[in-house]
Amino acid sequence: MNSGTNRRGRWATPLGGRAGKVASGAAAMLGALAVLSTGMAPSAVADDVRPQQWYLDKMLADRLWKVSTGKGIKVAVVDSGVNPSTPSLRGKVLENDVPAAAAYGATKDYGGHGTSMAELIAGSGAGGGLQGLAPGARIIPVRVKLDQLKDKAERKKTASIPQGIRAAADSDAQIISMSFGAEYPNAEETSAIEYAAKKGKLMFAAVGNSGDKDNFIGFPAALPEVVGVGASDETGTVGKFSQSGDYIDLAAPGVNVPTWCDATFQQYCPGKGTSQATAIASASAALIWSAHPKWTASQVLRVMIDTAARDWPKNKPSKYLGYGLIRPAQNLIAGRGNPGAPDVDPITNEKTSVAGSPTGDSPSASVPASSQPAKSTSGGETAAAGSTSKSSSNGNDQLWLALGVAAAVVVIGGGAFAVVRARRSG
């Protein structure tokens, strides 16, 4: 991995160099991500999908929900639309909260992907449907033009990705979940992301599903204001398809995670993808934010980073799993994680635009100050040489996956990875 692949290196200027080849129509944003989520033969019907959600037990969901269900948190799902009529989503989709700019077709899912992501976040599990990790959260559906939308008339009426992101930013959603990506940045999309960040939104995006192929840098996940999410399996090992690079911030379950097969909503299919990982990461943030409603996006993200499962130094993130695997139980059950300053970026330690936001919850006396991310003197952090693609739980193993011994072997790729992680700087 060379220095040209860091957050603000070769891709620092949205329209410069190779990045100047901006793909038309925001470039096949769903493409590969959706295929891996829904492209396999049906094997799970709606009456038996819950047992396939292995990560809920591994993450101690039943214990988490005694502390937080995500109540009071709204998550904007920018995707193919969300069907509010599936058994799992009834009463959970806020149809009237969608800003006019992206209101067309918001509750008419043209591919099934957006509905799947919404269920993974906030689904009730009713009718044998997907059980969301944050069942108390509510969904704001934002339909945008993705590759699956082929009808020309529908495409003309449907919001573009930048329009959708801006609409999500203008909504009451605290979290914006984006399970799509493309190889090239788009100037309008970049502007929309910056707009949402200034409004204090916490944004998650899929890093991409071609890690075993061309492993391109995925956008919007690679943008400075967005949390790039990779996908792991039941053992905590990164999926071979999950893209790698210094723009990977966190990882979440994304292997053998079922989704709706298509827009007929008749069956669930076994699936894998950073799409699912992004939805589950968004749900984890909703759980934490619900329990600490006066925190800012920076504080929620800082605690997620602080409590992530890893066996490498926190200030040397892995190119496969970033700062590690999400573990909301570490905060919600074990009380770990220091939220720190409300207006300081948790990765670069630079000031953000949300100074003055309320911070009613102060760090607990039981949470050591040393748990805060190490400060960087260069505006970024250096990724580790020999960083791993498998995570080990630090602290109480029962509060994340039962991973066993600490991992030290790179199972995908190899060689050193040492680049300056100048994310969100400059």
Side-chain-side CA neighbours of 91 within 13 Å: the count stands at 7
Annotated catalytic residue, options 79, 233, 262, 345: 79
Q: How far is CA 178 from the centre of its chain?
A: 7
Q: How far apart are alpha carbons 364 and 343 in whole angstroms? A: 19
Kind of pairing between the strands at 175-178 and 202-206: parallel
Is the C-alpha dihedral spanning 151, 156, 159, 160 positive or negative? positive
ω into 14 cis (within 30 of 0)? no
Residue 117 neighbours by CB distance under 10 Å: 35
Annotated catalytic residue, options 68, 116, 177, 275: 275
* 275 among known catalytic residues: yes
What are residue 309's DSSP bridge partners?
325
- Asked if 332 and 288 count as a contact pair (C-beta separation under 8 A), the reply is yes
* 57 among known catalytic residues: no
- Asked if 219 and 43 count as a contact pair (C-beta separation under 8 A), the reply is no
Burial of residue 13, with CB atoms counted within 10 A of its CB: 0-12 exposed, 13-18 middle, 19 or more buried: exposed
266-293 residues labelled b (16+ CB within 10 A) or e (exposed): ebbbbbbbbbbbbbbbbbbbbbbbbbbe
Kind of pairing between the strands at 250-253 and 226-232: parallel
Q: How far apart are alpha carbons 49 and 269 in whole angstroms? A: 9
Give how far Cα 403 sits from Cα of 57, 63, 88, 208, Å.
13, 19, 30, 25
Annotated catalytic residue, options 80, 113, 387, 389: 113
Is the C-alpha dihedral spanning 76, 134, 329, 172 positive or negative? positive
- Asked if 181 and 229 count as a contact pair (C-beta separation under 8 A), the reply is no
Q: How far apart are alpha carbons 69 and 289 in whole angstroms? A: 10
Burial of residue 214, with CB atoms counted within 10 A of its CB: 0-12 exposed, 13-18 middle, 19 or more buried: exposed
Kindly list the catalytic residues: 79, 113, 275
